[in-house]
Amino acid sequence: MQKSHPFQPLLLLFFFGYLLTALIACAPAGTPRDSVAIAPRPALLRIGITANAPPLIYKEGRRFTGLEADFARKLARYTGKKAKFINLDWDELIPALEADKIDIIMSAMTITQARQYRIAFTNPYLRSGQILLVRLQEKSRFSTGIYSLMNSSYVIGLIKNTTGDLFITSTINGARVKYFTEPDDAVEALIDKEIDAFVYDAPMVCYYAAVNENNKLSPILTLTTEEYLAWGIRKDNIVLLEQANAFLRDLQDRQQLLPMIRSRIPYM
């Protein structure tokens, strides 16, 4: 980056700081919708999510939790509204926003040119990208990140049609890949030595490394792609866009943004 960014402190951390996607389909792996349409109301903030991307947004029992849920509840209070989560399939989020079925997308969505044609984005709150998850005892073999996978016989775990999949298959000729539907399955395969590395979004990789500390997994904190996470808002909803950006600035000014991120994303 050439110029200082208002969220420059995030760049000093090892990361990053989701997609979870690039251009068309970097979706978190399939989560069914469990919410019905809610009509717009002035006192309600309808928050579109796909709750399958810990530590950013997921469900524990009946409650939505994660960094995005923390942000959403605070944003609702900031705007004087009540938060209402609308859990949808990933590919339904933008159409739901365009159809005024939700007010904002807060679901680990990255800013892409394709999406910017359809919706507006707030200022980014997190710099992310694709990194590797490997076994701790083999960490030194992957010290150069993605470059460690080139011209090798390593078996690479990927989630189909995600940023990691698109990046690896377009960058490494003849890559030996094994596809998974859910990241949990890929992590288990890594533990069981069925794959040598798992390529996925930085926040999630750090999360899985932390919760699998006893299994001795480690993230390789070298970004192979650069992506920025932000919240999506309809282009005609200028008021909410300005409120959301003001909310982010307020968190930054009061030095709350970084602690919120650190509380949810390990290895920072």
Q: What is the pLDDT of residues 230-260, one digit of tens each?
A: 999 999 999 999 999 999 999 999 999 999 9
Query: Please, what is the average pLDDT of the chain?
Result: 87
pLDDT above 70: residue 17: no
Q: What number of other Cβ atoms are within 10 A of residue 26's Cβ?
A: 26
pLDDT tens-place string over residues 177-223? 999 988 899 999 999 999 999 999 999 999 999 999 899 999 999 88
Q: What does the alpha-carbon distance between residue 187 and residue 213 come to, in Å, rounded to a whole number?
A: 12
pLDDT of amino acid 6:
44
**Range(s) within the chain of domains with CATH label 3.40.190.10:** 8-127+226-264, 130-220
Q: What does the alpha-carbon distance between residue 206 and residue 258 come to, in Å, rounded to a whole number?
A: 16
pLDDT above 80: residue 21: no
Q: Which fold has domain 8-127+226-264?
A: D-Maltodextrin-Binding Protein; domain 2 (3.40.190)
Average pLDDT of the segment spanning 51-58:
92
Q: What does the alpha-carbon distance between residue 56 and residue 83 come to, in Å, rounded to a whole number?
A: 17
R_g of the chain, CA atoms, integer Å: 18
pLDDT above 60: residue 29: no
Instruction: Give residue 40's pLDDT band: very low, low, confident or very high (50, 70, 90).
Output: confident
Task: Please state, in angstroms and as integers, the Cα–Cα distance from residue 202 to each residue in 25, 83, 139, following that order.
Answer: 17, 27, 16
Q: Which fold has domain 130-220?
A: D-Maltodextrin-Binding Protein; domain 2 (3.40.190)
